Structure 1
Amino acid sequence: MQKPGADFEDELENSEGAEELYERMSFTVDKGQEPLRIDKFLINRIEGGTRNKLQQAIEKGHVLVNGKAIKSNHKIKPGDEVLVYSETSPESTEIVPEKMELNFVYEDDDIIVINKPAGMVVHPGSGNYNGTVVNGIAWHLQQQSPELTEVALPRFGLVHRIDKNTSGLLVLAKNEKASIGLAAQFAAHTAHRRYIALVWGDFEDSEGTISGHVGRHQRFRKIMDVYPEGDHGKDAVTHYTVLEKFGYVSLVECRLETGRTHQIRVHMKHIGHPLFNDDTYGGDRIVKGTVFTKYKQFVDNCFAICPRHALHAKTLGFIHPTTKKEMFFNSELPEDIQQVIEKWRRYVSAKGIMTEG
């Protein structure tokens, strides 16, 4: 848990921002490389790496050679493909179990899938020490195993996150083996995630791809921005398909290749389509349409119905870390987004605006 007084940058990263909690580093062993212990090979290639840290990562299964976990005495050879998964989130020093209502979509001995409501933070951090998903999961696990005095899951159960005010599907691991298996998929971008978003403006093309590094804004440190490749930030790719047009706003499906902080929100703003009622990226005002009394009142009413950015993590797919079976989950749009969509449908229908995708 972060200490009180941590700045907003830490809160942004650790409480409701970053989706992926593991990053992937890959190395290909040179043709002329002599056989060498894996820890010695990596210590000169990873900034800040120490032999102790690398051995711990190997023991946890965070280092793969040619797709397989190895032991610390493994010797690499020319042509080997080495993957290292590094945890990007700090460990919690204390998680207080709390009884709360969570919408469990699926659970077995290894994983839990929940449908998170808007307004709930995923992990404790600065300004959010309780009432989070992790607090609720900790209580849930204690009910299953009352002998647990310290719930281990929060240390390794999260492999991705969604923003506080984004609703939708989230998977957590119940043990370290499952955590490693899921983390590898998110780091390798093989997990499937689809979001539904209501965004401002109309689109000329029915589908497209947004590519651009996402990093912290260099002037306004509380938000993220898009930068040219190699300039600043981390690579980010979002594919979108227009599902329905309402003239002033559009309903889109977004498919993530990467999971950067606020990725969909900042990418959509970057192409001129901020999310509806996104107060961080300019969607909480009239972006498309003439500001006149009746229209403004209509938009304000929509904002009141959906008092958060209109984004929902609708589908989630991955390979089960133990059974190796393909898992796929789908969730319905929450009521606030559904109601706003229906209001826009009625509004543009009355004005005779085409709404096809």
Structure 2
Amino acid sequence: MLSLPTMNQENELEPEETSEELFERRVIKTDKGQEPYRIDKFLMNRIEGATRNKIQQALEAGLITVNGKTVKPNHKVKAFEEIVIYSTEHPDTTDVVPEPMEINIVYEDEAVIVIDKPAGMVVHPGSGNYTGTLLNGIAYYLKEQMPDLDEKVLPRYGLVHRIDKNTSGLLLMAKTAQAAAYLSKQFFDHTIQRKYIALVWGDFEQDEGTIVAHVGRNQRFRKLFESYPEGEHGKEAVTHYRVLERFNYVTLVECVLETGRTHQIRVHMKHIGHTLFADSTYGGDKILKGTIFSKYKQFVDNCLEICHRQALHAFTLGFKHPVTGKDMFFTSPLASDMEQVIDKWRRYVKGK
């Protein structure tokens, strides 16, 4: 069985200027008795083998945040602070521990696997999630099928795209290096067909539209992403949307991606004033539209109790098969939490 290598703690602090992506590697929470102490000295005592120079370089490069904000080396660590250390090393470079788990495979052949992922399941190992991820389960599944599988290669290269932990729906994986290269090119060329269903706050003036705005990491809060309509930061991103059903204060929309940036639908929708319902990361878990009546507040709270995550579902997935060249197309029924909440809004509007 594979085992995770010991994390090279010094490399956690190695900035790489050629990479825009940052990956969370370690979280340190100070306790109530923490005395004010310079962060560079504090981390020297907490990270074995780390030098003060490396820590200061990482701080200047924005690889270390305190309560979500970048800080200078002279920042004084205090009680009840959360320090997050990021790395430019992709989590896919970490070996995967095979684990038996239930995976909803909707299609599989010698080249590809199509999976219907539940909300709440992390796709790949990373800081705080080295086990229990989809890749841990796929590694076990593939090893059962192919005992001689080179686990240092699979399933890492088979992950040709990702969906967020709290997004449900369809995910595509390759089973061979050739299939991975073929599918990756389709993603690069934007020929993959993907539709998402989202419940968002607010009503739309138009029945359909297109959002064009770069998506990049928020320059102060490193866990967040943001839309940059002038294109001065981030990467090009295009989302087409179409209204499916209106519920006065929230709207059910279909989103078609041309590009696949991290949190793209979530930040694009927020950018045009329609934050995803129940998306706590971007403020959608509060009442953003509606009345001040207590009954309405109770209704929304009941909906949020049912759906604890952003109301986003990867509904369809279409691609050209890497071996046969055949057009493949799959759909995934809405997750039950979204289905229940949509039905509640539908009945609420009819009641009014």
Q: Under TM normalisation by the shorter chain, which class is it?
A: 0.7 to 0.9
Q: What pairs up with 1:30-179 in 2 under 5 angstroms?
A: 89=90, 91-148=92-149, 150=151, 152-179=153-180
| Contact 2:100/2:140, CA 8 A, preserved across alignment | yes
Give the whole-Å Cα distance in 1 for the aligned partners of 2:217 and 2:92.
22
Match of 1:312 in 2: 313
Q: Label 1:277 to 1:154 Cα distance change in 2 as closer, same or farther (>3 A).
A: same
Letter in 1 for 2:297: K
- The match for 1:42 is none
SS at match of 1:283: coil
The letter for the 2-side match of 1:199 is V
Amino acid at match of 1:259: G
Determine helix, strand or coil for the equivalent of 2:289. coil
2-structure distance, mates of 1:151, 1:143: 15
TM-score for the superposition, normalised by structure 2: 0.75
Question: How far apart are residue 11 of structure 1 and its match?
Answer: 3.1
Letter in 1 for 2:105: F
By relative contact order (CA 8 Å, sep 6+), the higher-ranking structure is: 1
Deviations 1:312-340 (A, max 9, x none): 00000010011111000001001000000
How many Å separate the matches in 1 of 2:272 and 2:296?
Answer: 24
**Amino acid paired to 1:152:** V
CA distance in 1, matches of 2:309, 2:119: 8
Instruction: Give the CA deviation at 1:150.
Output: 2.8
Give the secondary-structure state (helix, strand or coil) at the position aligned to 2:280: coil
User: Which residue in the other structure is 1:254 paired with?
Assistant: 255
Q: Give the conservation status (yes or no) of the 8 Å contact 1:138–1:151.
A: no
Equivalent residue number for residue 21 of structure 1: none
The percentage of aligned residue pairs carrying the same residue is: 66
Provide closer, same or farther for how the CA distance between residues 91 and 162 of structure 1 changes in structure 2, counting only shifts above 3 A. Answer: closer
Structure 1 CA distance for aligned equivalents of residues 118 and 137 of structure 2: 13
Q: Secondary structure at the match of 1:185?
A: helix
Q: Amino acid of the residue matched to residue 224 of structure 2?
A: I
Match of 1:200 in 2: 201
Structure 1 pair 285/109, CA: closer, same or farther in 2 (3 Å)? Answer: same
Aligned to 2:238: 237
Q: RMSD in angstroms over aligned alpha carbons? A: 2.0
Q: 1:141-195: CA deviations, max 9, x gaps?
A: 1111223473632231011000000000000000100000000000111101000
Query: Which of 20, 24, 30 is 1:11 aligned to?
Result: 24
Asked if structure 1 preserves the Cα contact closer than 8 Å seen for 2:155 and 2:175, the reply is no
Match of 2:57 in 1: none
CA distance in 1, matches of 2:213, 2:310: 22
Q: Is the 8 A contact 1:153 1:173 kept in 2?
A: no
Which stretch shows the higher mean deviation, 323-332 or 1-10?
Answer: 1-10
Kindly tell me: are residues 128 and 325 of structure 1, through their superposed partners in 2, closer, same or farther at Cα, counting changes over 3 Å?
Answer: same
Cα distance between partner residues in 2 of 1:256 and 1:89: 24
Letter in 2 for 1:247: N
Q: Tell me by how many angstroms 1:90 deviates.
A: 5.4
- Residue 170 of structure 2 aligns with an amino acid whose one-letter code is L
Residue 187 (structure 1) aligns with = 188
Amino acid at match of 1:232: H
Distance 1:343 1:230 in 2: 39
CA distance in 2, matches of 1:150, 1:98: 13
Q: Secondary structure at the match of 2:302?
A: helix
- Any conservation in 2 of the 1:106–1:112 contact (CA below 8 Å)? yes
Residue type at the aligned position of 1:111 = V
After the TM superposition, which parts of structure 1 deviate over 2 Å for at least 4 consecutive aligned residues?
Answer: 1-9, 88-93, 146-152
What per-residue deviation string (whole Å, max 9, x for no partner) do you get for residues 33-68 of structure 1? xxxxxxxxxxxxxxxxxxxxxxxxxxxxxxxxxxxx
**What is the 5 A alignment of 1:206-225?**
206-225=207-226
Measure how far apart 1:221 and its partner are.
1.9
Q: Give the letter aligned to residue 189 of structure 1.
A: H
- Partners of 1:195 and 1:93 in 2: CA distance: 30
Q: Deviations over 1:254-299 (max 9, x none)?
A: 0000000100000000000000000011100000012321111100
Distance 1:120 1:199 in 2: 22
Amino acid at match of 2:305: A
Give the whole-Å Cα distance in 1 for the aligned partners of 2:117 and 2:320.
21
2: CA distance, partners of 1:350 / 1:230: 44
3-state SS of 2:155 partner: helix
Counterpart Cα distance in 1 of 2:267 and 2:197: 15
Secondary structure, aligned partner of 2:328: strand
Unaligned runs of 5+ in 1: 13-87, 352-357
Letter in 1 for 2:154: L
Gaps of 5+ in 2: 14-20, 26-88
How far residue 235 of structure 1 moved from its aligned partner, in angstroms, is: 0.3
Q: Structure 1 residues 156, 240: closer, same or farther in 2, change over 3 A?
A: same
Measured in 2, the distance between the counterparts of 1:199 and 1:108 equals 36
Q: Find the aligned partners of 1:234 and 1:254 in 2 and give their Cα distance.
A: 19
